[in-house]
Amino acid sequence: MAVIGVGVDVADVARFEASLGRTPALRGRLFTAQESQSRTPRSLAARFAAKEALAKALGAPPGLDWHDAEVVSEPDGRPRFELRGTVAARAAELGVEGVHVSLSHDAGIATAMVVLEG
């Protein structure tokens, strides 16, 4: 398999938490109900960074819907994406066959990296 795209993003956890506090509707615009359920601000910041990293790996085309890229956790805790709608269509257009995501948060910063394979 070949690498089709790579994306990296970071989010300041305190700044992200403040944004959620100032604009409560932001949580619903960025995350599915499953994603935002019982998540800490640092976990949400990492998921936001993952969505941004995915958009970058896909070439940042306009019109991607945040809810069409859902970060879910495997039983062992590893994150993975479930793609649908606008995001799945872009991935198919590029020939994406695999999506790898890694999340981390430390010292007030959340980081995500996404690698697309085809």
Cα 92 to Cα 45, 79, 84, 87, 96: the distances in Å are 27, 21, 10, 9, 6
pLDDT in tens, 91-100: 999 999 999 9
**CATH number of domain containing 11:** 3.90.470.20
Determine the pLDDT at residue 37: 84
pLDDT in tens, 6-53: 999 999 999 999 999 999 999 999 999 999 888 999 999 999 999 999
Domain that holds residue 97: 3-117
pTM of the model: 0.94
Give the chain's domain count: 1
Q: Which residues fall within 8 angstroms of residue 57, CB to CB, at 6 or more apart? A: 4, 5, 6, 7, 114, 115, 116
